[in-house]
Structure 1
Amino acid sequence: MNINKKRLLPLGMVLFLFAIAALLADKSWSEKQQQLDLITNFYKDHLARPETRQASQLPTGSFYSRELEALVDANLQLCDSLSRGDDICGYGADGDVFLDAQEVSPSLDYERAHFNVTRSGEDTVDASFNVYPDMGSAYERQIRYVLVQEENGWRVNDMLFGQGRSMRQELQKENETVLARARELSDAAGWVFNYLGNEDMLDRAVRFIAFPVQVCDQYGICTAMKRDDPRLLQALDALADNGADMSFVPKPGDVTASEGKVVAVHALDFTFQNKAWWVTKIDLRRAASLPRPNP
């Protein structure tokens, strides 16, 4: 049997190219499916949980890209270290980021939410669902997930909500706000003197104290006290009894923050260190002698 090699060569090339095309098509389908699976599997797990999961509570490297995870981690650290008042701090802490809602139906689950996921671009996936399925379309939500491929697969690089909102932008804004408030002496002093004005809140003022703190009694005897020293609350109570109130708090913008700067407010010394104003000295001698400032 004679084999025409001239005909076999083009045929082999065609088969080779066909195989390459098939492999590329299969790879493309696999990549698309991985994108959908990332979001779908996340929501199946999220909606099966009995308690709301915050944005900062996801396992490292499991869902966010490295860049987005760094923003989430920074937000958590800033709130833990610098947000010391009673305000809620933490991205999405007052609701469910992944459902774009503060409240959802108590019986909500993956099936009842009518969850649907579709690819809207090469690296975007749209998730749609209803957080109160029994109450109609007013509670429908849609979140666009912007994805990026990393070593361990596709990861979320941003979440786009309605009205042009972006998770990245909101995180950056909140982080900047926390830092800005920590640099404002009027904010820190305002919280401290507010707590001093309420006997039941004296322990909250401790959040703003850098330890060990120098405490001087009315006789000029000064002692370095730790957080658990019982004399500390006694000193704060004495300070409150000596007229420490909001009238002594500086106005916003009156004081410029710089590392190591010390400003006396009533009987307290506030020092700017580690990105925030901290009480570093309590001097009860000053409490009785200071006149009340003009309103």
Structure 2
Amino acid sequence: MKLNKTHLLPAGLALFAIAAMGLLADKAWSEKQQQLDLITNVYKDHLSRPEVRQASQMPAGFYSQELESLVTANSHLCDSLARGDEICGYGADGDVFLDTQETGPGLDFEKSGFKAERTGDDAVEVNFNVYPEHGEAYARRLTYQLVRVPGGWRVDDVRFANGTTMRQEIQRENEAVLANASDLPDTASWVFHYLGNEDAMERATRFIAFPVQVCDEYGSCAGMRKDDPRLLQALDALRSVYYGHAPGEEGLRPLPKVAQAPSAEGKVVAVDALDFSFQARAWWITRIDLSRVTAQR
């Protein structure tokens, strides 16, 4: 039988087109499944290890490089400048994957009723319950915004049910930390708050730039590091000036009133025995001079 070549060519092209369409469909299905698997697998792991749940909030290969850098920068900022008692750091006061501070007893992947579905080309919504015994009040919904990188899909942002996003929360906390660190009255209030509590007095060292210049009541000065035992002695002497030596005892001087000052690099403001200097985006104690507050005894 003689084949008609003019008929073979269109047939071949049609078969090729069908095969190509099949490959594209397979690829599209694969991409969608990778998105769902990325989120689902992390939740399976997270909910299977309640004892280390907090430590698993930064799983490798989950966040995009940019988002991971934001979390790292936030952590460094909290470590270096959040010097009061406020909880600081993304995920420091709750489980970011479960969007909660408490979960039901024995909560695991199955009990949570976890479900994930794609809500766009690059978004996955998850629904689950962190305390199934208490009903819908503990239902959670989060939407993961994804980005394609050479290594696969990564999370580039997370939207919570209240409308805020992971990036917004990190940015908001960073701004609050920097605002407080550049507020001299706020900084001084924390220092004197800690000085007023003998058991918490050492926390005042969070606000000291080391090595710090320390001068005794006779004007003899020395540079001291954080581990120098003379430093706590100086702080204790300063505490007694304002709060007395014993609980309920009145100090020799009232607490100073601290006015706001420009947060300009290198600016120095004297507050009784303390010199506060603005450097590296925050106010720091750079000098403790007991002679300023003990000369009138």
Shared fold, TM over 0.5: yes
C-alpha contact (below 8 Å) 1:55/1:97 kept by paired residues = no
Give distance in 2, aligned partners of 1:176 and 1:216: 35
Give distance in 1, aligned partners of 2:254 and 2:98: 40
- Once the two structures are superposed, the pairs formed by residues 20-39 of structure 1 within 5 Å of their partners are 20-39=20-39
Give distance in 2, aligned partners of 1:31 and 1:137: 32
RMSD of aligned alpha carbons: 1.8
The question of 1:269 aligning with 2:275 is answered yes
Matched with 1:11 is 11
Matched with 1:148 is 147
Q: Which amino acid aligns with 2:48?
A: A
1:75-125 CA-to-partner distances (Å, cap 9, x unmatched) read 101001101111111123111111111111131000000101111111110
What's the % identity of the aligned pairs? 61
Give distance in 1, aligned partners of 2:54 and 2:296: 46
Matched with 2:178 is 179
Give distance in 1, aligned partners of 2:175 and 2:56: 17
Give distance in 2, aligned partners of 1:158 and 1:217: 53
Q: Which stretches in structure 2 are left out of the alignment for 5+ residues? A: 244-252
- Once the two structures are superposed, the pairs formed by residues 183-202 of structure 1 within 5 Å of their partners are 183-202=182-201
Give distance in 1, aligned partners of 2:59 and 2:43: 15
What SS does structure 2 have at the residue aligned with 1:204? helix
Matched with 2:133 is 134
Matched with 1:282 is 288
Q: State the Cα distance separating 1:260 from its structure 2 match.
A: 1.0
C-alpha contact (below 8 Å) 1:193/1:249 kept by paired residues = no
Normalization by structure 1: what TM-score? 0.93
Q: Which stretches in structure 1 are left out of the alignment for 5+ residues? A: none
Q: Which amino acid aligns with 2:194?
A: Y
Q: State the Cα distance separating 1:149 from its structure 2 match.
A: 0.6
The 4+ residue runs of structure 1 with deviation greater than 6 A are none
The question of 1:248 aligning with 2:247 is answered no
Give distance in 1, aligned partners of 2:145 and 2:99: 16
Normalization by structure 2: what TM-score? 0.93
Matched with 2:74 is 75
Q: State the Cα distance separating 1:246 from its structure 2 match.
A: 7.8
- Once the two structures are superposed, the pairs formed by residues 112-123 of structure 1 within 5 Å of their partners are 112-123=111-122
Q: State the Cα distance separating 1:256 from its structure 2 match.
A: 1.3
C-alpha contact (below 8 Å) 1:189/1:249 kept by paired residues = no
Q: Which amino acid aligns with 2:135?
A: G
C-alpha contact (below 8 Å) 2:57/2:95 kept by paired residues = no
Give distance in 2, aligned partners of 1:243 and 1:138: 49
Q: Which amino acid aligns with 2:255?
A: S
Give distance in 1, aligned partners of 2:279 and 2:231: 21
Give distance in 1, aligned partners of 2:99 and 2:26: 34
Name whichever of 85-94 and 27-36 sits farther off: 85-94
Matched pairs, number: 288
